[in-house]
Structure 1
């Protein structure tokens, strides 16, 4: 039977209280909201600590989606279900609805949170790839104030983030740009599973129809979710076309670093990275035109 190591339970009723607890308890404490990643690790004793701080009561402070003309702000305790059901978010960034439909199952989506997904920092995690694709920033709060870091700086390695002892991820901010759209594709062994490979894409067009910018974020093909600047550089100024998507696919395959495991060979995952990149960019263009 899998049983966690002994720990003491605390329940925070505000962000300030959670920060106070984290500051006093330091590295001996962990935060829990949905718990669908943390609790299994505790049962396997891959995560062992003295205190567990429950922050579910902070949903009133940190569970929100605000779609503005220049920025979308999403609270770190926003549930997967809320991301899936937000019509405003889907209109601004359809990639969220694409991804949420293939994340786990309704039980997980009802409890799991955006912040928990990002802080888990699993290289196969869907929403990390989504936020990388959208050039999101992460707001981290400490007792002395807040700081904002890019997704590239937020994830420092597998299961490691920029959030330090005594700090909490409170918000994700995504810039809004005109004439753009986004999409997500995932190959999994069974419904709701971790990705064999997944790809997110975002595309923006100039008034003349040429590509103003493009971003691709991959998951499950390296130690971190991976953004590929070479794709952005290659596509800017070009007409949306199958030739452009093919070049982006080749770059995605070349710039990822998958490992052979029970989900598939490295060569298979490279092939998927390219094919899913092609599909998502094509869908972005179709969404803008349609």
Structure 2
């Protein structure tokens, strides 16, 4: 099957792209890597009036560290983020997550902003963004604003992005030296979307540890919970059990709700233990 007819627009500047979004609004879709959008177009699951290809807008690919934050442009390729010394030093959890995204061929094309805008509940980039407490930068002709993941993701493949806005960057806090991380996922085959994925960071806090534990694929959007625990195995299990108890797992042809709950508990415990053990 081939896409329904649409107007193809390829702006050279961000201002031109924003003008097109103002003109077409909800009738337009933004294309960056095109890996997910291309499939949706071909299957006619989406029928936009216009597709706005932003690949010529170089400023959307920039990676910059400013103080205690790192700003990763929405058009930054997954492979480029993986290879970036700044990203490796500032957000190692995102690096671990990206290692699980697709295959090296797809990572050379796929973008971090496209993954967040697509909002697949099993995707690694939205999960890491949520676990790290990052924000999504949204730009329109009206200005620039930031949105927290819990306010941006509205469900599977659904976001609170306005029709004239585009995801322009991800803003992530720089992890402090000595912070431990952990990331694991389970899927049918390497490179497939995760059935459930878990991500965590931990840092020493007095005699214990402060942590953030995130889960993707368990519900219709990624989520993260912060807390304090010790490095005792039973304490970690108890902390994870409290988190998993309150989730409402997806139930579909890939996995039952009970299996997803089991995976969330199993992976959550493993990555939190890994993060705690990796603290300096």
Alpha-carbon contact 1:34-1:112 (below 8 Å) kept? yes
Q: 1:68 to 1:288 in 2, by over 3 A?
A: farther
What residue number does 1:245 align with?
236
What residue number does 2:99 align with?
101
Alpha-carbon contact 1:93-1:182 (below 8 Å) kept? no
What residue number does 2:166 align with?
168
CA distance in 2, matches of 1:200, 1:157: 19
CA distance in 2, matches of 1:185, 1:131: 15
- Unpaired segments ≥5 residues, structure 2: none
CA distance in 1, matches of 2:235, 2:68: 28
Match of 2:278 among 265, 282, 287: 287
**Equivalent residues in 2 for 1:1-290 (5 A)?**
2-58=1-57, 60-178=58-176, 179-206=178-205, 208-211=206-209, 213-228=210-225, 232-233=226-227, 236=228, 238-289=229-280
- Spell out, residue by residue over 1:79-116, the C-alpha distance to the aligned partner (whole angstroms, 9 max, x if none): 11012112332232221222111111122101111110
Following superposition, the deviation at residue 121 of structure 1 comes to 0.9
Q: 1:73 to 1:209 in 2, by over 3 A?
A: farther
CA distance in 1, matches of 2:278, 2:89: 11
CA distance in 1, matches of 2:266, 2:239: 10
Following superposition, the deviation at residue 196 of structure 1 comes to 0.9
Following superposition, the deviation at residue 249 of structure 1 comes to 2.4
Q: 3-state SS of the aligned residue for 2:195? A: strand
Following superposition, the deviation at residue 177 of structure 1 comes to 4.7
Instruction: Let me know the Cα RMSD of the aligned residues.
Output: 1.6
- Spell out, residue by residue over 1:189-216, the C-alpha distance to the aligned partner (whole angstroms, 9 max, x if none): 001001111011121222x3422x3111
CA distance in 1, matches of 2:277, 2:89: 14
- Unpaired segments ≥5 residues, structure 1: none
CA distance in 2, matches of 1:177, 1:188: 28
Alpha-carbon contact 1:201-1:216 (below 8 Å) kept? yes
Q: 3-state SS of the aligned residue for 2:56? A: helix
Q: 1:15 to 1:175 in 2, by over 3 A?
A: same
Alpha-carbon contact 1:248-1:274 (below 8 Å) kept? no
Alpha-carbon contact 1:226-1:256 (below 8 Å) kept? no
Q: 1:35 to 1:187 in 2, by over 3 A?
A: same
Following superposition, the deviation at residue 57 of structure 1 comes to 0.7
Q: 3-state SS of the aligned residue for 1:53? A: strand
- 4+ aligned runs moved over 6 Å, structure 1: none
Return the TM-score normalized by structure 1: 0.91
Alpha-carbon contact 2:184-2:199 (below 8 Å) kept? yes
Alpha-carbon contact 2:198-2:216 (below 8 Å) kept? yes
Q: 1:255 to 1:82 in 2, by over 3 A?
A: farther
Q: 1:68 to 1:210 in 2, by over 3 A?
A: farther
CA distance in 1, matches of 2:143, 2:132: 25
Q: 86-95 or 35-44, which moves further after superposition? A: 86-95
Alpha-carbon contact 2:131-2:199 (below 8 Å) kept? yes
